[in-house]
Structure 1
Amino acid sequence: MPPGTQIASDSDMETVLEEFKQRQERRNSGGSAKYTCSVPKCKATFKRLDQLDRHEYHHTGLKKHACSYEGCDKTYSIVTHLKRHLRSTHERPEAAAKKTVKCSLDECSKMFISVSNMTRHMRETHESPRVYPCSHCSAKFSQKLKLKRHEIREHTQEYPFSCAKCSRGFYQEWQCQSHEGSCKQYECPGCPQKFDKWSLYTKHCRDTLHGRNRHRCERCDCAYDKPSDLKRHIEVKHKEAAAEEESTSFTCTEEGCGKSYSYLRNLRQHMLTSHSGRRFECQAVDCGRCFSSAQNLSKHLLRDHKDGKKKKEKEKKQAVKERLNSNPRKRRRDAGRSKHSRLSKLACLQLDKDDEEAVRERQPMALEKVTQSLKEDPIEELLAQTLVDEDEVEQE
């Protein structure tokens, strides 16, 4: 029906509805899809460029549309947002770019550049704000991306991207790629377990053996790095059994000797010293004491025969000194000779090694060189001349 025609019957109404449906179909079709996602393994297609930009941003998380004006570092994920920035910030006059329109709601203090921006703000924020409810709980979000992350993190645990080494999940592909470059796996050499943290790996190695020489408990499967830790474990976990072992005594089997000991090593020491004739006698004059071990004998010598020890050490030092004197070191040719000449000492000069040697040997060229360096100071020059004169007298 032509525009402006009044609807007078049911047939006219059917005609209007049919034309409306045709217009909607043409609007929704819009031709075939023009844009395809550039991310590998994703074959999504879109009719509009901004839809493609929004879809690829969910893949990569990168804002690929940057402002071309110098000094402006703004970037956007959608090309239409970049165009709006160029119009409002760079292409419009400076006065028009200022925010002069206030939100019509008194409680809201936001300012906008144009009335259309303020109207969109009213519609999306105050009148009918977008709310995305969670399908698993009662939580609600103002952004669809936040809802998606909440559902993955709290409910499904199905991340769209995961690391091939440690199976850690990520929301976006660029996060996964950045993580894979620094991801490290620590494999245990004694078992197939893997750890993504060094602290967990070292704790696992401490708690297990895997070839390490550790101290194991004879009553259970516990193992410890230090004997003191094992002893503490026995005192706490196996206190009664340890008390029974301590109460067990080892008795000497020799006739007429009824001594008993708590430890077998003490009994063996007793057998060596008391019944095998193995004694440690002091060799000092007028002493004659005997001891059960070499350790006790050494303690006795330090405590009771200090003078004898000092005398022995003195004799040892004397022997070393005599040996050195019998084969003395060859004396150096320049032994006792000063490293600096008399001239350099009196004139407070710092000369090279070769110059010092030449001055010490009274070479004319060297003395003339030193004299030239001292001409600036009359006192030093007089001193140098005096030394030269003395040298001439000595030569005569």
Structure 2
Amino acid sequence: MSTDLKISTRSTLERYSDALVHLSHSIHAEPELAFAEHKSVEKIAGLLDGEGFKVERGVADLETAFTATYGDGELVLGLCAEYDALPEVGHACGHNVIAASSVGAALALRDVADRLGITVRVIGTPAEEVGGGKVLMLERGVFDDVSFSMMVHPAPYESCAAGSLAITDLEVHYKGRPSHAAAAPHLGVNAGDAITVAQVAIGLLRPHLEPGQMVSGIVTRGGTVPNVIPARTSAMFDLRAENLESLKRLENRIQDCFKAGALATGCTHEVVQVSPIYAELTPDPWLADAYRRAATELGRRLLSPEQEQREKIGSTDMGNVTRVLPAIHPTIAIDCGDAVNHQSEFATACASPSADRALLEGALAMAWTTIATATDPEQRSRLLARGGVA
């Protein structure tokens, strides 16, 4: 039966290949930022609605979140679609490929859903780059009845169980007092200096960070004109670590650096958490192995499990999903030369023939992983035991 099901899903995917590539290119051509992905949602949800999926928009009180469901089997598959872009460099993380591959897997599985006893659900998750759409959707119950979940992410290399870093993003705001920079600088309280002190403190701290801890940041508000002592400044920092526990220790140290800026200059300061905290990925081993078998059968060249352990794919709110239910977040390689994610050259590669092939083969690998899972009695029982029922 498994062979027949694999042949059927491949045939379906071939039939929809042009539509899926068009979807990917269309999302790529109109990049939208976090929580503002209205056009992308309509492109994805509109296609699925026309193919018989029951679409619900605005789920979890998020305008650009949606679900699209087909079937009524007790085993519920959640295919995560991402579609937000980055400022200036657009789809330099390839979320157009992610969305189209999840749609492709859903369409491939639709016609065999009854035979597999599954419910196929595309979960449209906004704001992965910043904002934590999946975290909010988890907290608001969207994943409650999902038995297992997956997605594929374009990258320079191919993996099925690579790790990620936990992350929190913090914005620090300093408030001082303005004054004339030449006539009365002694009457000012320089909020620009507060940021400088904080940055120097963080720079001096870096050699003493734990393995896997990282800090990167930008000044988002540095003053207005050079002849006025800056009274209000802001900076935003990404803090990353191997896991949530290490991340908390890092945050405590960075908070002290922020306090140093205020103490040294006489400013007051406030720290705001911009997005929900993203956990590290903990991919389900059985699902990862099943995906590896499927991708290998399709001719994809994956990193070995040993090589995967040395790779970190940055940070993702899919990490939070993997802590709640069995899930995987494989990467799929595209031809991008020397470019890496978040570079403009990578954005260009995400609408190339290589990316088109990756989205189709990634969709088929996810479909075949689902077939392997649904037809394995032990795994089926394991996934149903977590309480994910339609």
What TM-score results when the alignment is normalised by the length of structure 2?
0.18
Q: Which has the higher helix share?
A: 1
Q: Which has the higher strand share?
A: 2
Greater C-alpha radius of gyration: 1
